[in-house]
């Protein structure tokens, strides 16, 4: 087979190339980067083009791959440092690759997803039916990628498969130590490098997960590639070996040896994310060859061997020195204002001494200027400290001529000190207040920027909703008034025509070309009455609806069935019409886009069903009221007027592609019409009719039967002595 791998050169890519080459397949690589990054050893051909390139279609046309594998979140071309920006680029890349693939109309597309789409804790193992709970930009981008693949599968008919990998881990890439987004996906390697770098391993015993080694993941991917047919579009791939962070840290500690300790960061509630691989195992088989113990030993040995590629050993050796330096730096930065204050006090002390007794500067208070200076620059704290220094300098200068006791008893000293502290503290308070206001404004601006981002997200959603509402208002197809107006048009048809045109109207209202209406034959079987396309007839002319358990369970509860698993054995949506608590009809719809399979669409289908039910019930009551007049007295043979009207309705519906029917002309020469009619009616289904034409001929109308199937009825009539022929033109 020709296999196209889409992604960067990493351990996963190399392992896949080696596996596919061993199995005799030819590997092509779309690098996603035009620069020379990675060797892609053993790849048959390398296409170094970015995902945004216009030549992707030509690449697919040239390779014509039997399988295309998109590495997704395991593609290191995507740098998740800025997840908001990168999620847009990720979606664009996937869309461009999928579009080029879908235009090829061949092969299988495999999208590699991860357990990151589940951001909550789950008590039990997570199976494929569990709805995603993505939270971060990266996890939302991964989940949206899954939705894109589903939409292409449904709308374009592509063979698309999603494989969710459960905590995939591998040998870390050299020089990848600083790529935190990549290392977050590899908890084992992250702990090993952390232990080597710091001597500590931080672990939370409440984090529970299951690790899947890259070689086991590649084996599973290959099974999905080689399978002739896959029954599902989504599979969980997991080792099923549950472990928590603390146990993993202990295994790494054992292999790292002395000098490594574990920091217990067990906080918060349990966070358990373990995927259930039973579906994949039952269909394709899942075998785990590489277990955590042996892989940890191998990984520790590898990281130690190439330690210089992951960390700077000199930095590790000097980490304690750096910690002391950092501590001293913090202390020094805190002391700088006080040191500066004391240094500046010296010139002000000297100036004040020179000013005493001076003719020009005697009234100038240098200490007050000194305190105000530091109050303006640093605030209250330094203003207080400078005031204390100034008081000390003042008292020291006064004691040149007086004793210390005289200075203390002089009330002028206290007036000066009060003046100094009042001005210093007042100015310092204003400085602190201005700084607080400035910081608050800065935080407020940051908060408003965050709010603006949120508003932009909300606005994007609102614009999308607004556009949908605009379309609804313009088209008016979804409004209740329009629905009632369209369904009311059923009243203009003859009673025998109502169900035919009900299918046509339903198709128009739900905007689908594939609609079928089944009538309940008994408590187990339903027969196809009308359908708008070959797709809508795929289930057959007769179905045992009670065996369709998923659908029947909801219809029995008078609820709408939505085929969220996209099971091809079921319609995408279905609703039942009841009369006096008895199921009468089943409305089935195909060809609905995934995004429209919503509660709103289900409610609309219920309303349409009720309106169709009213028209059908009126028609049935009318026919029941005229039943004695429609049949020849004492027989099961319709009279000429009723039968010709019924045949005309069926033939008109057949010409519009709403049903299949065949008319048989029966030779009863020499036999009683009434007796022959009753005998022949016993040889037909409940949904078939026998009646008399206006020219005296006896004919049978076989509903949902083409000419080929009608041959069986002809033979059945012949065995009882009645010859019959198929009539395409019955002369009505």
Q: For the segment 649-671, what is each residue's pLDDT rounded down to a tens digit? A: 788 778 877 778 888 888 877 77
Contacts of 696 (CB under 8 A, 6+ apart): none
* Residue after which a domain boundary falls, among 625, 656, 680: 625
Residue pair 66/172 in contact by the 8 Å Cβ criterion: no
pLDDT at 570 exceeding the cut of 50: yes
pLDDT band at 160 (very low <50, low <70, confident <90, very high): very high
Q: How far apart are CA 615 and CA 517, in angstroms?
A: 14
Q: Is residue 613 part of a domain?
A: yes
Q: Is residue 652 part of a domain?
A: yes
Contacts of 290 (CB under 8 A, 6+ apart): 213, 215, 216
Same domain, 144 and 284: yes
pLDDT at 489 exceeding the cut of 60: no
Q: What is the pLDDT of residue 142?
A: 93
Q: How far apart are CA 515 and CA 503, in angstroms?
A: 6
Same domain, 108 and 255: yes
pLDDT at 179 exceeding the cut of 60: no
Q: How far apart are CA 309 and CA 198, in angstroms?
A: 16
Q: Which has more confidence, 629 or 114?
A: 114
The CATH number of whichever domain residue 511 belongs to comes to 3.30.450.40
pLDDT at 362 exceeding the cut of 70: no
pLDDT at 333 exceeding the cut of 90: no
Q: Where in the sequence is the domain holding 62, given as residue range(s)?
A: 2-317
Same domain, 333 and 436: yes
Q: Is residue 563 part of a domain?
A: yes
Q: What is the pLDDT of residue 474?
A: 52
Residue pair 170/213 in contact by the 8 Å Cβ criterion: yes
Q: How far apart are CA 144 and CA 139, in angstroms?
A: 9
Q: How far apart are CA 164 and CA 243, in angstroms?
A: 19
Same domain, 530 and 570: yes
The CATH number of whichever domain residue 311 belongs to comes to 3.40.50.720
Show the tokens assigned to 188: 């084992």
Q: Is residue 453 part of a domain?
A: no
Work out the number of other CB atoms within 10 angstroms of the CB of residue 509.
22
Lowest mean pLDDT, pick from 65-69, 284-288, 353-357, 534-538: 353-357
User: What per-residue string of b and e applies to 99-125 under the rule 16 or more CB within 10 Å gives b?
Assistant: ebbbebeebbbbbbbbbbbbbeebeeb
Q: How far apart are CA 52 and CA 516, in angstroms?
A: 42
> Cα-flanking dihedrals φ and ψ of residue 311, to 5°?
-140, 165
Same domain, 188 and 302: yes
Closest to 346 (Cα-Cα) out of 404, 390, 395, 376: 390
Residue pair 64/79 in contact by the 8 Å Cβ criterion: no
pLDDT band at 472 (very low <50, low <70, confident <90, very high): low
Q: Which range has the top average pLDDT, 133-147, 246-260, 318-332, 458-472?
A: 133-147
Q: Which has more confidence, 364 or 726?
A: 726
Mean pLDDT for all residues in the chain? 81
Is the model's pTM score more than 0.75? no
Output the CA torsion 670→672→678→679 (10° steps): -30
Show the tokens assigned to 579: 């009369």
pLDDT at 58 exceeding the cut of 50: yes
Q: Is 685 helix (H, G, I), strand (E, B) or coil?
A: coil
| CA-based max dimension of the chain | 157
pLDDT at 549 exceeding the cut of 90: no
Residue pair 574/588 in contact by the 8 Å Cβ criterion: yes
pLDDT band at 321 (very low <50, low <70, confident <90, very high): low
Same domain, 677 and 690: yes
H-helix or E-strand containing 515? Answer: strand 514-520
Alpha helices, DSSP H, located in 32-82: 56-63
H-helix or E-strand containing 726? Answer: strand 723-727
Same domain, 330 and 300: no
Q: Which range has the top average pLDDT, 195-209, 222-236, 424-438, 454-468?
A: 222-236
pLDDT at 443 exceeding the cut of 50: yes
**Beta bridge pairs of residue 169:** 213
**Beta bridge pairs of residue 392:** none
Q: Is residue 530 part of a domain?
A: yes
The CATH number of whichever domain residue 638 belongs to comes to 3.30.70.270
Q: How far apart are CA 117 and CA 162, in angstroms?
A: 13
Q: Is residue 214 part of a domain?
A: yes
Residue pair 505/587 in contact by the 8 Å Cβ criterion: no
Q: How far apart are CA 224 and CA 235, in angstroms?
A: 10
pLDDT band at 177 (very low <50, low <70, confident <90, very high): very low
Lowest mean pLDDT, pick from 127-136, 611-620, 670-679, 696-705: 611-620
**Beta bridge pairs of residue 5:** 29, 69
Q: Is residue 474 part of a domain?
A: no
* Residue after which a domain boundary falls, among 256, 288, 317: 317
Average pLDDT over residues 222-244: 91
pLDDT band at 643 (very low <50, low <70, confident <90, very high): confident
Q: What is the pLDDT of residue 66?
A: 92
Same domain, 348 and 362: yes
pLDDT band at 454 (very low <50, low <70, confident <90, very high): low
Q: Which has more confidence, 676 or 384?
A: 384
Residue pair 605/573 in contact by the 8 Å Cβ criterion: yes
Give me the sheet containing 723-727, strands edge to edge.
689-692, 698-703, 661-667, 723-727
Q: Is residue 466 part of a domain?
A: no
DSSP string for 16-27: HHHHHHHTT-EE
* Residue after which a domain boundary falls, among 562, 596, 625: 625
Work out the number of other CB atoms within 10 angstroms of the CB of residue 221.
23
Number of domains in the chain: 4
Q: How far apart are CA 427 and CA 331, in angstroms?
A: 26
Question: 508, exposed or middle or buried, with CB in 10 Å at 0-12, 13-18, 19+?
Answer: middle
Cα Rg of the chain (Å, integer): 41
Cα 405 → chain centroid: 83
Same domain, 571 and 601: yes
Work out the number of other CB atoms within 10 angstroms of the CB of residue 630.
18
Inter-axis angle of helices 640-655 and 498-509, nearest 10: 30
Q: How far apart are CA 634 and CA 551, in angstroms?
A: 41
Alpha helices, DSSP H, located in 510-548: none
Show the tokens assigned to 299: 């990984």
Work out the number of other CB atoms within 10 angstroms of the CB of residue 58.
13
> Cα-flanking dihedrals φ and ψ of residue 231, to 5°?
-80, -20
Share of the chain above pLDDT 70, in %: 84
Inter-axis angle of helices 498-509 and 480-488, nearest 10: 160
Q: What is the pLDDT of residue 609?
A: 77
Q: Which has more confidence, 360 or 419?
A: 419
Pairing of strands 542-544, 525-531: antiparallel
Average pLDDT over residues 563-569: 82
DSSP string for 291-344: -HHHHHHHHHHHHHHTHHHHS-HHHHHTHHHHHHHHHHHHHHHHHHHHHHHHHH
Work out the number of other CB atoms within 10 angstroms of the CB of residue 429.
14
Same domain, 382 and 286: no
Share of the chain above pLDDT 90, in %: 15
pLDDT at 461 exceeding the cut of 50: no
Same domain, 409 and 307: no
Residue pair 648/732 in contact by the 8 Å Cβ criterion: yes
Same domain, 359 and 284: no
């Amino acid at each position: 087979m020709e296999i196209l791998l889409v992604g960067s050169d990493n351990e996963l890519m190399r392992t896949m190339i080696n596996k596919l080459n061993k199995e005799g397949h030819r590997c092509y690589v779309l690098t996603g980067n035009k620069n020379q990054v990675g060797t892609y050893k053993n790849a048959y051909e390398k296409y170094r083009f970015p995902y945004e390139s216009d030549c992707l279609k030509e690449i697919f046309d040239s390779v014509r791959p039997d399988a295309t594998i998109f590495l997704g979140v395991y593609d290191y071309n995507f740098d998740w440092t800025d997840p908001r920006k990168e999620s847009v680029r990720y979606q664009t890349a996937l869309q461009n690759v999928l579009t080029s693939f879908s235009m090829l109309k061949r092969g299988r597309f495999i999208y590699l997803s991860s357990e990151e789409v589940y951001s909550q804790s789950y008590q039990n193992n997570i199976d494929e039916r569990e709805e995603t709970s993505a939270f971060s930009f990266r996890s939302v981008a991964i989940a949206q990628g899954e939705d894109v693949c589903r939409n292409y599968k449904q709308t374009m008919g592509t063979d698309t498969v999603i494989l969710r990998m459960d905590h995939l881990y591998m040998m870390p890439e050299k020089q990848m130590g600083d790529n935190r987004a990549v290392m977050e996906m590899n908890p084992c390697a992250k702990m090993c490098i952390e232990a080597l770098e710091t001597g500590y391993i931080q672990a939370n015993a409440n984090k529970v997960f299951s690790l899947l080694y890259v070689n086991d993941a590649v084996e599973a991917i290959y099974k999905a590639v080689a399978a002739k047919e896959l029954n599902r579009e989504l599979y969980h791939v997991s080792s099923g070996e549950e472990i928590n962070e603390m146990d993993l840290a202990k295994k790494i500690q054992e292999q790292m040896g002395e000098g490594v300790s574990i920091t217990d960061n067990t906080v918060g509630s349990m966070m358990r994310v373990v995927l259930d691989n039973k579906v994949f195992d039952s269909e394709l088989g899942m075998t785990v060859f590489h277990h955590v113990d042996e892989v940890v030993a191998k990984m520790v040995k590898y990281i130690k061997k190439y330690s210089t590629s992951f960390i700077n050993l000199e930095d590790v050796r000097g980490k304690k020195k750096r910690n002391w330096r950092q501590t001293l730096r913090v202390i020094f930065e805190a002391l700088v204002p006080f040191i500066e204050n004391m240094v500046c006090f010296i010139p002000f002390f000297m100036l004040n001494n020179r000013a005493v007794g001076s003719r020009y500067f005697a009234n100038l208070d240098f200490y007050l200027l000194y305190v105000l200076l530091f109050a303006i620059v640093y605030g209250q704290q330094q203003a207080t400290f400078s005031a204390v220094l100034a008081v000390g300098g003042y008292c020291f200068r006064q004691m040149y001529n007086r004793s210390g006791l005289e200075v203390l008893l002089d009330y002028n000293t206290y007036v000066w000190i009060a003046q100094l502290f009042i001005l210093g503290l007042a100015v310092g308070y204003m400085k602190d207040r201005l700084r607080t206001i400035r910081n608050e404004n800065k935080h407020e601006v940051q908060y408003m920027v965050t709010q603006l981002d949120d508003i932009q997200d909300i606005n994007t959603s609102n614009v999308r909703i607004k556009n949908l509402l605009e379309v609804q208002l313009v088209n008016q197809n979804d409004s209740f008034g329009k629905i009632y107006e369209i369904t009311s048009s059923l009243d203009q048809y003859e009673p025998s025509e109502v169900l035919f045109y009900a299918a046509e109207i339903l198709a128009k209202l739900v905007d689908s070309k594939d609609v079928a209406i089944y009538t309940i034959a008994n408590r187990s079987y339903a027969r196809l009455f009308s359908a708008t396309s070959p797709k809508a007839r795929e289930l057959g002319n007769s179905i045992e609806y009670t065996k369709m358990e998923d659908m029947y369970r909801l219809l029995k509860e008078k609820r709408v069935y939505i085929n969220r698993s996209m099971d091809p054995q079921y319609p995408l949506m279905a609703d039942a019409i009841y009369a006096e608590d008895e199921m009468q009809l089943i409305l089935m719809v195909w060809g609905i886009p995934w995004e429209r399979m919503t509660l709103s669409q289900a409610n609309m289908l219920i309303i349409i069903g009720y309106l169709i039910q009213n028209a059908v019930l009126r028609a049935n009551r009318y026919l029941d009221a005229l039943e004695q007049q429609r049949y020849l007295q004492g027989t099961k043979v319709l009279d000429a007027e009723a039968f010709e009207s019924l045949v005309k309705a069926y033939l008109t519906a057949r010409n519009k592609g709403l049903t299949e029917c065949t008319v048989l002309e029966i030779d009863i020469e020499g036999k009683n019409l009434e007796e022959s009619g009753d005998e022949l009616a016993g040889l037909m289904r409940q949904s078939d009719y026998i009646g008399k034409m206006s020219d005296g001929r006896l004919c049978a109308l076989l509903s949902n039967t083409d000419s080929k199937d009608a041959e069986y009825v002809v033979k059945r009539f012949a065995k009882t002595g009645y010859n019959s022929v198929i009539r395409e033109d019955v002369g009505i």
